[in-house]
């Protein structure tokens, strides 16, 4: 293959993946915080410790619908010798008890309603004669009498205040990523909004005279721009706010105009124009407006990469990541370099994706000492993961991304991974993992 | 515990989880389709087969920056006896070749540019004298001469048209869930929008006199409504569009007013008011406006459940799922019944969550023959999953949801799962799985 053949000329200058990541991440800062309505804060990171200002539950209350009683009054209750109590009050959830439970009395009480003074135990309806009276269409109104037919231990069906969350309790420390399941808990302590690190605005710019926007007419020699929409989706999935600026043509004026539109963001991601062999116009413009490094990274796909700062006239700078033009290379390089950058800006503690161990079903070859990120479909079967490559791994083959949900790693120093061997896989889309039974 | 004690009275009338799911899902229909801009269609389901109208790449093109040649002209090339060719054209990506490559000639060509007629092989710059000429600041302009110094096999660095995707090829069948990673591929075949099943609008209504919206002042005896925001997040995470109608008070007029606002949606989810012991006003209103079943489901938490149809004056009906008021029960019942309902309306083929096998670190008890869904934190360690319960599993303890990312299942007929035993777990949040190394 011509591709591999050529690298012997450049192999020595390559950066490792980790060197490139370290250099790039050093330029990323955690963004400032903002107040966000609770339901819009999912995926964002708490900027401050969250301490509950209230007890949950706020008052000691009933876990059942039943009768609040003094346990000492009913220790002799049984089905055949029920204890009769005078019902003095009825307490709904959300209302406060009006009366104290004194010897020989009880208050009818609903789930969640505060336990009245004097009572220490709740006897559920089912353990009283209320079901029978209801069946006979007798009144259960207050005042009246209730027969306790089964004994419960003292304190039964009583939820002490603060049992769930205590006033002053640290509910979540700063740095916690808010997930969907947390919202109920945060609402229950009364939070309408939360202080979170704001999301980065990520400008996305495709470059190339040959590109046409999807949905438009394709003239001979042109291709559709796959990177614009692909990167919009990838930025959103990483937690950033995408700002697609469009396609810049390979000339100085158009590039400069489009770059001006990118300066309002927190990060600029361009695709194409950064390879050693590309026309120099993109590289010239980028170099003139900032400090760009044009790198070769010891990985496949995604070897050519550019990184630096983009300046405006006032000297304000934003980091700029230049991805390869090839759509597969661009998406893999995004995964390895841009996603961690966005996560660092979001304040997420663990910026890198973890790996799971999988059994490889076919083989991965590594013929030039670069780390291979092979697109795989990962399945869960018999208690473990199985990975199959998505066919031809040429970096021009976008179809190899279709249906893929992971990147299997073949290390730099390993010539191949054989079918049946263990392989480490970044699962990039858990929702697409198939479960085979 | 009083809670367990009481169930012996009702145990026989309970529905199994599967019976309740089957009954509920029978009422859900796949919604109609809509055209959606590509970048907004993630998570939605293709309503038609997607067939590519074009070849990818559209034209046979160069995989490298180099020189397009006739292989038979250069079979004798070597570093010491280079072959000299006349350069007749320069082809950029996005432009068309102007000249045919004839014996003894070559065209300078960029990655992605169409291969000119006559040529069959591309020799990369690095295998010609161009790098040396560039170093000596000599012109590489056309017309000129190039020396081919290294031979590549015939066809090298040439990408045939349709290699990636062929015209007429089925790219995705109807029923495919569109994921972030698919967008680049769909854009590359020129799609600006896609036909997808529309998302269901899910109305959410909290009921109860005791509820206060988060952010507002909490009077004695009241509690914050955790279910509103919790269900907004859960609906969104399931792929629905939440429409939070607010809190209905426990009176006929307010309930009817709020229910009217819910009829525009595709599904209504209420919380509270459905337990056997609850005040009858919610049940009375719901029964008057539709056909409601008030069920006990053989699960913990989440036993009380209501399901039926809500009608407006014209006879239009939408399905209505009544969840328990307790926030943990509501969220677990949502997971088991509402999430599959929303996924069915979205057209997603596999509506239920799968399970992974995990080693349980503590124990789960099941003392009344119901299926237990224990909130767990799931970790990945040494190639497998480990699950730990989030402490006290009382259904009133919202703190047991904090940090949880899975539901471990203890079957109805199993009294306990011991520490060290295998347990099946629904992973509810893959992003929160910890990786221990």
- Bridge partner residues of B185 (DSSP): none
Q: For domain A34-53+171-196, give the CATH number.
A: 3.90.105.10
Chain B positions in Cβ-Cβ contact with residue A229 (cut-off 8 Å)? 38-39, 183-184, 186-187
Cis amide prior to B377 (ω within 30 degrees): no
- Contact residues, A window 286-315, toward B, CB-based 8 Å cutoff: none
Q: Tell me: the pLDDT tens digits for A336-355? A: 999 999 999 999 999 999 99
**Would you say B157 and A2 are in contact if contact means Cβ atoms under 8 Å apart?**
yes
CATH of A356-436, one of 2.40.340.10, 2.30.30.90, 1.10.3720.10, 3.90.1150.10: 2.40.340.10
Is A419 at the interface with chain B, CB within 8 A?
Answer: no
Which of B216, B236, B398 is nearest residue A188 as measured by Cβ atoms? B398
User: What residues of B are in contact with residue A114 (Cβ under 8 Å)?
Assistant: 221
Say if residues A324 and A272 touch (Cβ distance below 8 Å).
yes
In this prediction, residue A7 has a pLDDT band, given cuts at 50, 70 and 90, of very low
The pLDDT value recorded for residue B416 is 92
Closest residue in B to A211 (Cα–Cα): B94
The pLDDT of residue B343: 98
What does the pLDDT read at residue B396?
Answer: 59
Q: Could you give the C-alpha distances from A430 to A426, B324, B433, in angstroms and in order?
A: 10, 30, 11
The reported pTM is 0.91
For chain B, list residues with pLDDT below 70: 1-12, 141, 275-280, 393-397
CATH of domain A61-159: 2.170.190.11
Q: Would you put residue B321 in left (φ > 0), alpha (ψ -120 to 50) or beta?
A: beta
Statement: residue A399 has pLDDT above 90: no
Percent over 70 (pLDDT), chain A: 94
Q: What is the pLDDT of residue A11?
A: 40
Residue B125: its pLDDT value, please? 92
Which residue did the predictor score with more confidence, A274 or B228?
B228
What's the rounded Cα separation, in Å, for the pair A85 and A80?
Answer: 16
Give the C-alpha separation, B14 to B165, whole Å.
54
**Cross-chain CB nearest to A209 (options B94, B242, B397):** B94
- Highest mean pLDDT of the ranges A91-100, A129-138, A344-353: A344-353
CATH number at B35-53+171-196: 3.90.105.10
B226 touches A: beta carbon within 8 Å: yes
- Lowest mean per-residue pLDDT among A45-59, A127-141, B415-429: A127-141
pLDDT number for residue A108: 95
Helix (H) or strand (E) holding B25: helix B17-26
- List Cβ neighbours of B284 (8 Å cut-off, separation of 6 or more): B252
Sort out which chain A residues have CB atoms less than 8 A from B44's CB and list them.
Answer: none
Interface contact B188-A223, CB threshold 8 A: yes
Q: Is B172 on the interface with A (CB under 8 A)?
A: yes
Helix axes B339-346, B227-238, angle to 10 degrees: 40
User: What is residue B91's predicted lDDT score, i.e. its pLDDT?
Assistant: 94
Please provide the DSSP assignment of B285-315 as one string. HHHHHEEEEEEEBSEES--EEEEEEEE-TTS
pLDDT at A278: 57
Give me the residue spans of the domains in chain B: 2-31+199-346, 35-53+171-196, 61-159, 356-436
Q: Is A120 on the interface with B (CB under 8 A)?
A: no
- Band (pLDDT 50/70/90 cuts) for residue A134 is confident
Q: Please tell me the CATH superfamily of domain B2-31+199-346, with its number.
A: MoaB/Mog-like domain (3.40.980.10)
The string of DSSP letters for B177-222 reads: BP-GGGHHHHHHTT-SEEEEEPPPEEEEEEE-TTEE-TTS---TT-
pLDDT of residue A340: 98
Across the interface, whether the CB atoms of A66 and B234 are under 8 A apart is answered no
* Residue of B63, B215, B327 with shortest CB distance to A184: B327
H-helix or E-strand containing A400?
Answer: none
């Amino acid at each position: 293959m011509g591709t591999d053949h050529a690298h012997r000329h450049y192999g020595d200058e390559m950066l490792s993946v980790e060197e490139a990541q370290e250099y790039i991440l050093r330029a990323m800062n955690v963004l400032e915080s903002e107040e966000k309505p609770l339901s819009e804060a999912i995926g964002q990171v708490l900027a401050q410790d969250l301490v509950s200002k209230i007890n949950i539950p706020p008052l000691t209350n009933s876990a059942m619908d039943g009768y609040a009683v003094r346990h000492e009054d009913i220790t002799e209750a049984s089905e055949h010798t029920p204890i009769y109590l005078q019902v003095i009050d009825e307490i709904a959830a959300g209302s406060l008890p009006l009366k104290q439970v004194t010897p020989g009395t009880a208050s009818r009480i609903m789930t969640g309603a505060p336990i009245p003074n004097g009572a220490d135990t709740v006897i559920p309806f089912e353990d009283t004669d209320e079901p029978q009276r209801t069946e006979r269409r007798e009144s259960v109104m207050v005042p009246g009498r209730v027969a306790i037919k089964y004994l419960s231990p003292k304190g039964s069906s009583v939820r002490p205040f603060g049992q769930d969350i205590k006033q002053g309790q640290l509910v979540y420390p700063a740095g916690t990523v808010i997930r969907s399941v947390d919202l109920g808990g945060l609402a229950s302590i009364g939070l309408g909004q939360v202080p979170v690190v704001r999301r980065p605005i990520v400008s996305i710019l495709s470059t190339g005279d040959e590109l046409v926007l999807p949905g438009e007419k394709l003239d001979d020699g042109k291709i559709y721009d796959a990177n614009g929409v692909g990167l919009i989706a990838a930025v959103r999935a990483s937690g950033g706010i995408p700002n697609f600026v469009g396609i810049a043509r390979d000339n100085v004026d158009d590039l400069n105009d489009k770059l001006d539109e990118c300066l309002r963001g927190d990060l600029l991601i361009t695709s194409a124009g950064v390879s050693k062999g590309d026309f120099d116009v993109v590289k010239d413009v980028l170099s003139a407006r900032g400090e760009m490094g044009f790198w070769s990274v010891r990985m496949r796909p995604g070897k050519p990469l550019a990184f630096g700062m983009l300046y405006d006239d006032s000297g304000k700078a934003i980091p700029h990541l230049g991805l390869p033009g090839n759509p597969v290379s661009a998406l893999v390089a995004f995964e390895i370099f841009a996603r961690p950058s966005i996560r660092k800006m979001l304040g997420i503690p663990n910026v890198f994706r973890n790996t799971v161990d999988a059994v490889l079903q076919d083989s991965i070859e590594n013929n030039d000492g670069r780390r291979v990120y092979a697109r795989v479909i990962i399945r869960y079967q018999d208690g473990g993961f199985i990975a199959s490559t998505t066919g031809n791994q040429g970096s021009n083959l976008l179809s190899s991304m279709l249906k893929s949900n992971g990147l299997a790693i073949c290390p730099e120093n390993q010539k191949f991974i054989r079918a049946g061997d263990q392989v480490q896989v970044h699962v990039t889309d858990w929702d697409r993992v198939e479960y085979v039974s």
